[in-house]
């Protein structure tokens, strides 16, 4: 087993200096810290979070990512956010744990007051998120992947859904589509900030072009997508394209369309919004999609959180990143006779 003495020998420093870096118990010059960190990486040295907590009297070098698994389904798209955050945490000498609890203030308050974590990263943010108030009250450093209705003074990174929606609509209009529907998840009692911003951007953009928006809400599951696809041509006969912000229903939607004789993209073009290659590949045909920047935002979110922990007097980071258009097989130019 690699010891701190081995690390000290590799880095050319004292064992005490290695201990200071490992436990964060005393400040160490940046160049010295980097030498020690590099020695730990090359030797495969693993920190002991419990030992670090004892040495630093409450500082654990552990951060928690809160995901409301009781309210929100989990997909490989979401996993990309916290796997990249976990890698970033490890690079910066921290351990990240995923905390799949409900999205209520009481459970967050219990976690915050245990002293088990140095900070908290929130995912699946609501417009009015009770977790934010709980963390503020407990005086625990935190950052958001997502943002509330009023994010002033909060550290956050987020998908720029308004910009992403506008790009999807522009690409469809370039191909002659004007009657474009928006299909999103239905989450009773859960006011998802990302979905709300995307929906508002769609409605504003459609009205700006003189077209009344068509917003359809369905539950986030394949069976709901099947039902929508099966009835789509009858219920929305003039619609030539769909922007879909509901990746859980996407494959079912394509199956339902095919079963009803609606050919994609010949009869209906589809762009899946805020998803991943894995989820897009589940559809037949292969979905054209706007890639969710999960790997990037996971890293940025972790960096924003550590800044709140290490430099609390600095202005909080606030960064947006739009989705990336990825061509697939579900979009084509609208037929002139439609």
29-64 pLDDT per residue, tens = 889 999 999 999 999 887 655 455 544 445 788 999
Structure-block tokens of residue 266: 């010949």
DSSP 292: -
pLDDT score at 57: 47
| C-alpha dist (Å) from residue 297 to 75, 98, 183 | 16, 16, 24
| C-alpha dist (Å) from residue 90 to 55, 141, 186, 319 | 19, 18, 36, 22
pLDDT score at 26: 77
Domain with CATH 1.10.260 in the chain: 4-50
pLDDT score at 270: 98
Helix pair angle (30-43, 15-23), 10° resolution: 90
Global pTM reads: 0.80
Please, what is the Cα angle at 14 between 13 and 17, to 5 degrees?
90
Q: pLDDT by residue for the chain (338 residues), tens digit each? A: 788 888 999 999 998 898 888 877 678 888 999 999 999 999 988 765 545 554 444 578 899 999 887 677 778 888 899 899 999 999 999 999 988 776 667 777 777 767 788 999 999 998 998 889 888 888 889 999 999 999 999 999 999 999 999 999 999 999 999 999 999 998 766 778 899 999 999 999 999 999 999 999 999 999 999 999 999 999 999 999 999 999 999 999 999 999 999 999 999 999 999 999 999 999 899 999 999 999 999 999 999 999 999 999 999 999 999 999 999 999 999 875 55
- In this structure, whether the domain defined by 161-291 belongs to CATH 3.40.50.720 is answered with no
Give residues with Cβ within 8 angstroms of 229, minimum separation 6: 252, 253, 254, 255, 256, 257, 258, 259, 260, 262
Instruction: Please name the fold of domain 4-50.
Output: 434 Repressor (Amino-terminal Domain) (1.10.260)
- Measured in whole angstroms, the distance separating CA 133 from the mean position of its chain's CA atoms is 21
pLDDT score at 147: 95
Residue 319's SS3 state is strand
Report the candidate in 150, 245, 232 with the shortest Cα–Cα distance to residue 201.
245
User: How many of the other CB atoms lie within 10 Å of CB of 234?
Assistant: 9
- Which residue is listed with tokens 């609890």? 101
pLDDT score at 109: 73
Residue 262's SS3 state is coil
The CATH class of the 62-159+294-322 domain is: alpha beta
Residue 158's SS3 state is strand
Residue 132's SS3 state is helix
């Amino acid at each position: 087993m690699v010891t701190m003495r081995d690390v000290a020998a590799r880095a050319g420093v004292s064992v005490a200096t290695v201990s200071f870096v490992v436990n964060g118990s005393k400040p160490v010059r940046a160049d010295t810290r980097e030498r020690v960190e590099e020695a730990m990486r090359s030797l495969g040295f693993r920190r002991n979070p419990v030992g670090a907590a004892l040495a630093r009297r409450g500082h654990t070098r552990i951060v928690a990512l809160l995901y409301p698994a009781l309210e929100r389904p989990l997909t490989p798209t979401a996993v990309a956010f916290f796997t990249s955050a976990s890698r970033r945490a490890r690079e910066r000498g921290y351990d990240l744990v995923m905390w799949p609890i409900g999205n209520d203030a009481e459970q967050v308050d219990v976690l915050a007051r245990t002293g088990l974590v140095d900070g908290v990263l929130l995912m699946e943010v609501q417009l009015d998120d009770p977790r934010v108030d709980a963390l503020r009250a407990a005086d625990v450093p935190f950052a958001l992947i997502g943002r509330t209705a009023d994010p002033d003074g909060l550290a956050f990174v987020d998908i720029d859904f308004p910009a992403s929606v506008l790009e999807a609509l522009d690409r469809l209009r370039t191909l002659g589509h004007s009657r474009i529907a928006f299909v999103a998840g239905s989450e009773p009692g859960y006011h998802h900030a990302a979905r709300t911003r995307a929906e508002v951007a769609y409605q504003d953009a459609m009205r700006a072009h003189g077209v009344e928006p068509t917003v359809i809400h369905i539950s986030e599951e394949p069976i709901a997508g099947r039902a929508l696809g099966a009835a789509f041509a009858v219920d929305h006969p003039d619609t030539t394209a769909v922007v879909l912000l509901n990746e859980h229903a996407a494959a079912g939607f394509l199956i339902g369309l095919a079963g009803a004789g609606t050919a994609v993209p010949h009869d209906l073009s589809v762009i899946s919004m805020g998803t991943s290659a894995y989820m897009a590949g589940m559809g037949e045909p292969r979905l054209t999609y706007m890639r969710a920047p999960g790997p990037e935002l996971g890293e940025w979110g972790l960096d924003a959180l550590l800044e709140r922990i290490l430099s609390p007097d600095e202005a909080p980071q606030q960064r947006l990143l739009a989705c990336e258009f990825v061509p697939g097989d579900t979009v084509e130019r609208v037929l002139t006779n439609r």
